[in-house]
Amino acid sequence: MIRVLPDTNIIISSVFWRGNPYEVIRRGILGEYQLVISAEILDEVVDMSEIAKAYTLSL
């Protein structure tokens, strides 16, 4: 099975928009290939979500 390692931008974009990044994640979830993620990328996604939350709360 093919393994796909999406980067932080793909993961975050797939949450907010329905373009190609969304399709990459959706197709992985559907089992067309295996999504894999590293601890470093997961940490970066968490960091970015915390930054976005802090920014939103400061508005």
Q: What is the mean pLDDT of residues 21-35?
A: 98
Residue 55: the pLDDT is 82
pLDDT over 90 (residue 43): yes
20 torsion bin: left (phi>0), alpha (psi -120 to 50), beta (else):
alpha
Q: Is 11 exposed, middle or buried (0-12, 13-18, 19+ CB in 10 A)?
A: buried
Q: What is the mean pLDDT of the chain?
A: 94
Q: Give the whole-angstrom CA distance, residue 29 versus residue 37.
A: 13
Residue 37: the pLDDT is 96
Residue 4 pLDDT level (bands cut at 50, 70, 90): very high
- Residue 18 has, within 13 A of its CA and on its CB side, a CA count of 0
Reduced to 3 states (helix: H, G, I; strand: E, B; else coil), residue 58 is: helix
31-40 pLDDT tens trace: 999 999 999 9
